[in-house]
Amino acid sequence: MINDLKRYRQLFKDFHFRQQFMTALLVALAVVFIFYGTFVLFGESVQASIKNAEQLQERVTNVKSSIAKIEKNTAQTKTLSTGLLTYVQGLSGQLTGGGKFTNIKIINATTRQEQVSFKTENLVYNDFVNLLKEFENYGNVQIKSLSVNKRFDNPKRIDALWDIVRAEQ
């Protein structure tokens, strides 16, 4: 061992050997730093990609749950199976106490949809809103057109002209 140490000292006294040794050491250190820098650089981008993939997966899960909620809500909506004209005539007495629906007439009665036009007179705003809610309860009933006017004799009451459509599903 002592002989080996003496031999290494003798080698390091040689300038050419020292230069080769230092060059090899610097090359080894440069390779280590290059690999470390590459690891740090690509490691951060890999971590960022993983984080982005997790966020995207979370968004997809949120969208799937929203779609499921929407499908559940649409499955729970009621459908009007009776005739629309009969329904509106019954609604006249039920919702507003009668006498406020006028000119109830069927416009179009095909196999695919039924359309009824009617006029409401002297409605208070609460009855108007309740009537809108009643039509919203059914998935196959839509308000095709609605014209609302304040009454000239009492601004707290309104007149409205309705066109309601029931589509077959």
Mean pLDDT by 10 residues, the chain (169 residues): 73 76 89 86 80 90 86 69 80 68 76 83 85 84 89 87 83
Q: Please enumerate in sequence order all residues whose Cβ is within 8 A of that of 32, keeping only pairs 6 or more positions apart, or say none.
A: none
Q: Is residue 66 domain-shared with residue 117, that is, in the same domain? A: no
Q: Domain end: 36, 52, 76, which one?
A: 76
The number of domains in the chain is 2
Q: Please enumerate in sequence order all residues whose Cβ is within 8 A of that of 144, keeping only pairs 6 or more positions apart, or say none.
A: 115, 163, 164, 165
Contact 88, 80 (CB under 8 A): no
Q: Domain end: 76, 111, 137, which one?
A: 76
Q: Is residue 65 domain-shared with residue 103, that is, in the same domain? A: no
Q: Is residue 88 domain-shared with residue 24, that is, in the same domain? A: no
pLDDT at 161: 92
CATH of the domain at 101: 3.30.70
The dihedral sign for the CA sequence 106, 108, 109, 113: negative
Q: Is residue 99 domain-shared with residue 41, that is, in the same domain? A: no
Q: Is residue 61 domain-shared with residue 111, that is, in the same domain? A: no
pLDDT at 110: 64
Contact 76, 92 (CB under 8 A): no
pLDDT at 27: 92
Q: Domain end: 14, 44, 76, which one?
A: 76
Q: Is residue 58 domain-shared with residue 37, that is, in the same domain? A: yes
pLDDT at 66: 86
Q: Is residue 29 domain-shared with residue 92, that is, in the same domain? A: no
pLDDT at 30: 92
pLDDT at 99: 56
Domain interval for residue 92? 84-167
Q: Is residue 62 domain-shared with residue 88, that is, in the same domain? A: no
Q: Is residue 94 domain-shared with residue 115, that is, in the same domain? A: yes
Q: Is residue 24 domain-shared with residue 70, that is, in the same domain? A: yes
Q: Is residue 66 domain-shared with residue 90, that is, in the same domain? A: no
